Chains A and B, each alone.
Chain A
């Protein structure tokens, strides 16, 4: 009998659904509603449209589990030298590229030296840390670092460190190489076809180096934008809905045969901040920023604008990075009287019309409801907010390039490690003219020092203590006001597909390896 598993959001952190499932079966086609990926080269982009596809075709050296601990992928084991500066990786034996060529340590060295450290928008910053990469034997790769760098291993997954075939990329321009559209990887699925705007089809790699995997025969990524994906999912035409909106998530919650869960997306978790321009009056006064934090009802914003799929933020860092997270920081429970009192104290008094000051909020279309709520809640304490809707590119230019704004609202991800995604929002040296850097202009030498210290500490607990100290400091200084914490769920049909929940914190990029079909056959024909 088919056991229908219904996972409510609140229970989403519970066990994987294989815990209740029988023995995996073989065969079947899984259909995914996804974006149009364009180039299928994972080493030159951090795009969320590309990696759900390329993550099934390629591998990194490691994969991150749900708690961001490294687990084997192309590297089956590794050792770290005493000084913490040399990482030696033993590669899995008998790995072959999809075209039949043997994979070796030379592919790893080439991928990093020639592509990842030059062209991957995130990973190229590692070039400052890595002294040299060597391949002493076919199955061994050694990374020598210039200094101790605690988050090093978290960079080595497919998302940030996909290994490409040297024999197809050497001597070419990786940005324009035609192989980018018919990728050759080492992963569980082989590329079959890509029809732009329509679909990407992948088929099982029978020679996959992890014996017994994958179980499915085929993965089809249909290019369906999120507004249409809900209907396609409802009509039974797709089995996985990658990036549902809040209302869509609620729509499918508690339906038999459907799982709505954040599990497998932890690696994309973040705290969504309201960015204040700290270099502009009156936001340069920390008391004004605190008063605004009291004025905002983040519980209400999370419940309504995020339809309850994100939680109100209790700290500047996401709760999903649990080893570093603390909620024991200055909290700003919704309190209009308190906000008014502080503002009166600072001298930002109400005029005869009840207005303290007039300001503006820039946001893009995805955040209309959040913007309305922020406007109305700040209005309650006499701060009049003009809403300025703009498209994403204009928003980026205003906030990060021209720095011509009062308040701004958008998403950030804190990918897997506080040093990778979180630091950039606060670091003084990261107040530069580039997108998604330190937008607020906050500058605190002590904060910069702590961030730099943290990467030198290899002991995770001690390192976590530094980040907890940072959270306390940042919660007290509120350069940005943390609004909502979480990832938002993804949705799949558990009545026909099992084995989700086992592929780590970026499962959305790697589910194909373990998922299986309940109507499959018991042996591989």
Chain B
């Protein structure tokens, strides 16, 4: 139901935007109106909107997401062709950001009010507000153009395609940039949740028993602080697709984010509807996953 609404909304929004696929195909060649009419008829763009939405949903229910004239292949194939690159980038960035975010968040909570806490707060504030475009270009200028340590963009170089080391080298800059972006929120959430946990009775009890501060932090406070962190992390799953648009564009990463961006520019309705359908099912899945994880992390929920 929700997914159908998303698909329908996509059609409505795209039809409200000026221009269509026929115009994009025509380019700047000065195509005649007959050509535009011909293409529109072929793509059923001349049919009323409810008809377009209806026939799309009917086909989508049977697993047929349509054909993208611009991409020259079925929408499903186009999505799956880009998915591995997106997953690789997103998984690496998520892992890095979780590691970085939780570590910094816990340190900040443990040293509340100290200089370290202030430094971490300022760091996450700055990282949060840095434009990805600016940071990305800066990193490329430094590490690729000046130092020649890392490639400027893309996922594989021209001469060593498929080589794991090669892909890893290409992954460093986009994954770092993406994870900095994602980590900032995790730092804030972890710090707050851990700090709150540190004020709880069971922590006072643990300290009273003579437990080391380190043990109190890692065994008692942190596990209880992980629940809100999980919420943030699973929430991020949905942006594997949409959130990576900027990062993928700056680093020329061949993933779904850039496909989304290109499809908006080319008014590729079936491609956009397909991707939004796909990304909303990711969000739904992520929410289910979050519920399952809560049960694992928080024994109380198991008895509800």
Contacts and interface: CB of A to CB of B under 8 A. Distances in A.
A45 B39 CA distance: 12
B254 interface: yes
A176 interface: yes
Given A198-B155, A224-B154, A394-B18, A231 B23 contact: no
A178 B72 CA distance: 7
A436 B18 contact: no
B144 A231 contact: yes
Interface string A226-243: 001001101111100000
Contact of A197 (B35, B72, B82): B82
Given A46-B27, A124-B35, A231-B153, 4 more contacts: A36-B262, A394-B19, A435-B28, A436-B28
Interface residues of A, number: 59
A29 to B, nearest CB: 6
A80 interface: no
Contacts of A437: 30
A47 interface: yes
A79 interface: no
A31 B24 CA distance: 27
7 nearest CB pairs, A to B? A393-B19, A39-B72, A197-B254, A198-B254, A397-B18, A436-B30, A121-B31
Contacts of B144: 231-232, 235, 237
B101 interface: no
A436 B29 contact: yes
Contacts of B251: 228
Interface string B13-30: 000011100011111111
B254 A196 contact: yes
Interface in B132-177: 137, 140-141, 144-145, 148, 151-159
A41 B23 contact: no
A213 to B, nearest CB: 22
Contact of B29 (A121, A198, A393): A121
B83 to A, nearest CB: 11
A39 B25 CA distance: 11
A363 to B, nearest CB: 15
Interface string B77-103: 010011001000000000000000000
17 contacts: A39-B70, A45-B25, A119-B38, A124-B32, A196-B71, A220-B158, A222-B158, A224-B252, A231-B137, A231-B153, A232-B153, A232-B154, A392-B265, A393-B17, A412-B28, A434-B32, A435-B30
Interface of B: 17-19, 23-33, 35-36, 38, 42, 67, 69-73, 78, 81-82, 85, 137, 140-141, 144-145, 148, 151-159, 249-252, 254-255, 258-259, 262, 265, 267
B32 A432 contact: yes
A24 interface: no
A424 B39 CA distance: 21
Given A176-B69, A394-B18, A396-B23, A421 B153 contact: no
Given A176-B69, A235-B148, A393-B18, A424 B259 contact: no
Nearest to B157: A237
A106 interface: no
B246 to A, nearest CB: 12
A149 B140 CA distance: 53
A168 to B, nearest CB: 14
Given A196-B254, A235-B144, A394-B18, A433 B33 contact: yes
Contacts of B265: 391-392
A197 B259 contact: yes
Nearest to A46: B29
A398 B23 CA distance: 13
A453 interface: no
A381 interface: no
Contact of A237 (B18, B70, B137, B151): B151
Contacts of A412: 28
A39 B35 contact: no
B141 A231 contact: yes
Contact of B154 (A198, A397, A432): A198
A175 B21 CA distance: 13
Contacts of B36: 434
B153 A435 contact: no
Interface in A198-219: 198-199
B24 to A, nearest CB: 8
Nearest to B71: A38
Nearest to B153: A228
Interface of A: 29, 31, 36, 38-41, 44-48, 119, 121-122, 124-125, 175-176, 178, 180-181, 195-199, 220, 222-225, 228, 231-232, 234-238, 391-394, 396-398, 411-413, 421, 424, 430, 432-437
A159 B23 CA distance: 19
B249 A225 contact: yes
A440 to B, nearest CB: 14
B153 A413 contact: no
A33 B81 CA distance: 21
Contacts of B267: 393
A224 B252 CA distance: 6
Contacts of B29: 46, 121-122, 436
Nearest to B258: A197
Contacts of B25: 44-45, 47, 121
Contacts of B85: 197-198
Given A225-B249, A231-B144, A237-B157, A125 B18 contact: no
A122 B155 contact: no
B71 A435 contact: no
A432 B30 CA distance: 10
B78 to A, nearest CB: 7
B30 A424 contact: yes
Nearest to A239: B158
Contact of A224 (B32, B153, B157): B153
B154 A235 contact: no
B177 to A, nearest CB: 13
A437 B82 CA distance: 36
Contacts of B153: 224, 228, 231-232, 237
Contacts of A436: 26, 28-31
A40 B73 CA distance: 11
A238 B33 CA distance: 40
Contacts of A195: 81, 254
A45 B18 contact: no
Contact of B70 (A38, A199, A228, A435): A38
A437 B30 CA distance: 5
B33 A223 contact: no
A421 B30 CA distance: 8
A227 to B, nearest CB: 8
A197 B271 CA distance: 14
A265 to B, nearest CB: 15
Q: Which residue, of B67, B72, B153, B250, has the highest number of chain A Cβ atoms within 10 A?
A: B72
B158 A235 contact: no
A121 B157 CA distance: 35
